[in-house]
Amino acid sequence: MADKDTLTVTCPECDSILIVDRNTGEVLEVRKPLVEESSGDRFEDARKRVLEVNERAEKAFKAAQEREKGKLERLEALFKEKKEELKDKPIERPDRPFDLD
């Protein structure tokens, strides 16, 4: 869209790219940067953003995996503890409703 009727301006405050009509001064398009450290190339910025999202997702997955691993270890320890407690107790049959008569 960079023809002779438009002007491309980069905002020094927010690094947005503004496409302005030369004749009317009207802002035709605002292109906000996709990443904080924008290189000016939107495709490169989009690629960086996808890589950042993938990295965050990978970190979150690893953290969830560690939490689940810890949970499994705690449950196994609890199971072994309860199993040892019940090892010496005799097995009692539960009362059946028709035995109460």
Residue 15 vs residue 74, higher pLDDT: 74
Structural contact between residues 33 and 16, judged by C-beta atoms closer than 8 angstroms: yes
The pLDDT of 88-94, averaged and rounded, is 80
Please report the DSSP string for 37-52 in residue order: S--S-HHHHHHHHHHH
Where are the chain's structural domains? 1-32, 39-87
pLDDT at position 54 is 93
As a residue count, the chain comes to: 101
pLDDT digits (tens, 9 = 90+) for 7-50: 888 887 777 788 888 888 888 888 877 666 666 677 887 888 88
Strand order in the sheet with 17-21: 6-10, 17-21, 27-31
